[in-house]
Structure 1
Amino acid sequence: MKTIFNFLLYLLGFFFILGGFMTLTEGQTVPALFILSFGILLLPKVYQEVKQKFPKIKKLYYITLTIFTFIFGMISLGNKTLEEIENLKQTNSGVILSEINSGKIENNTGKIEETLNALIKRSSELIANGGINSIKAQIEINDKFINENGTLDTKKLNSLNSGLKGLLETLEKEEKEGKPEWLFTAFKDKLTDEVKEVYYVTSKNSVEQKFPYKTTNAQLVVRKSKSNLDVYIKIQSGQILTYNRTATLRFDDKKAFNVGINGSNDSDSTYGFLDSENKIFEELKKSKRLRIQIDLYQNGGVVFDFNTVGFKDALIKNKD
């Protein structure tokens, strides 16, 4: 009988010790210490030592066991209840967001504040990473909510909604015209100390070439300073023919025209410098597309297609 009793004490002791550690991992230090202490006191060896010093502990033991069991049960139940409440909150938020996204906004006192917070959260997410269709739908929902709740403080939602409208306008423009692809760099001439600005864009297409040359795209480069302007085309592989040659340019759907093309000072045949730089420069500021035909060694005339949207904006952005 005594062996069974000791076994039960060990079992209960380890149970409470384990429960104490679990409670400790959840950040509840004080309850964890109580549970751990009680679990240790339940161990037969510890219990015998305590009983020798306190002979009346046997009667108190059962009372203490009952109290600690009750406390442990309440803590466990409390944790479960808190978890259920948190899950319920998340579920409710999910339902509200679902209603918002489907256009079903419930205009009642109980949900109105929660709906506003959900709208603010969703709008912030879309500003950070939203597509055109999602943003359009959210703007419509926000407008409806703001109009139906004129007495509510919707300043933050109004501000976010304005941001969404601006973002939508930009995204729609980029979708229609093509995303600006101009890159910019600048350097100082070591001899003259003059700053040279370089704007460049890569062709949308590549062309295949006969052996030993590889498939290549092209870069259209505008290099400008206060005293000079160059417009040239650069390929990755192959040779641009420039001697007694011309390049044909066509901006948007305008009539194509020819300009002279020249080699670089160091005879690098991957470069072709275009004449009529000022004309090309002005056309680039108002065009969306430029096609350039040049002659490549052993590969004849090839056409490179460039998206030129945003060149004027790039000039303004990087203006001294």
Structure 2
Amino acid sequence: MIDAFLEMMSAERGAADNTLASYRRDLEDAERFTRSSCGTRLAESASSDIAALLRDMEKAGFAASSQARRLSALRQYFRFLHAEGIRADDPTGVVMSPKRARALPKILSENEVDRLLHRAADEARDPSIAAGQVQSAVRTRALLELLYATGMRVTELVSLPVSVAWSEEPFFIVKGKGGKERMVPVTQSARDAVSDHLQLRDRDPRSATCPWLFPAESYTKAIARQVFARDLKALGARCGIPSARMSPHVLRHAFASHLLQNGADLRVVQQLLGHADISTTQIYTHVMEERLHRLVSENHPLACR
């Protein structure tokens, strides 16, 4: 039934491969627990079995966020079983979600991002750089410029088709979670960086049949997100930024935070990030506190009293 559930999530809801893999891990782990500790198959579990699973995760030291993710996967699974007529009830319905404190996202300052962008540009144009490293430096700059200009998820970024760069429009069409498309504006600086990357990319004869904007060295698949993350950490180290603070997701956070700091509307940021729910975007409201305080102080008629 786990396989049937995953097939439904893929075919009907367009779940990404990473999402399906995460669901599979969570459900198969739950299946092993209910068989060994409760003596029953997962599909036949009672509410007490699900609660026992979460208690076991807590004792094992799993964070509340991991427990909540496991419970979310189970809720989806049992709703599927109910819809298919395999179960008459949903045992997760009365199980309370673990309480979790929402951590503030790690972000970089505007100055730090500026240092990254300048260093990437300098390295991409460095005449003394080894011939074999030129394409990597130019590619890293293009990826960094696009990521900070658009706030794309790293999987969206590395899997961009080369066709997006052929358009003269000032935006890219990005396919996000669940196959949903959205428009993201692209700065001229990012377009210039992508143009430089394309000139080197297209020198390789294999590029003629390669559909990705950022191909791997083999040109048979897109660059792995882990490769970009590694290159980004290395660039950050050369700028004096600790590797623990550097990742593609941190740049996505920086994109959203800097927009809000400079006056962007939360709903606009939600649309640009591709968040289905505004509550997901509200994690960034902490960066608005200083701006809101200044707005009230400067504009409220009673603020000067």
Greater C-alpha radius of gyration:
1
Structure with higher helix content: 2
What is the TM-score with the length of structure 1 in the denominator? 0.18
Per the normalisation by structure 2, the TM-score is 0.19
More strand by percentage: 1
Higher relative contact order (CA 8 A, sep 6+): 2
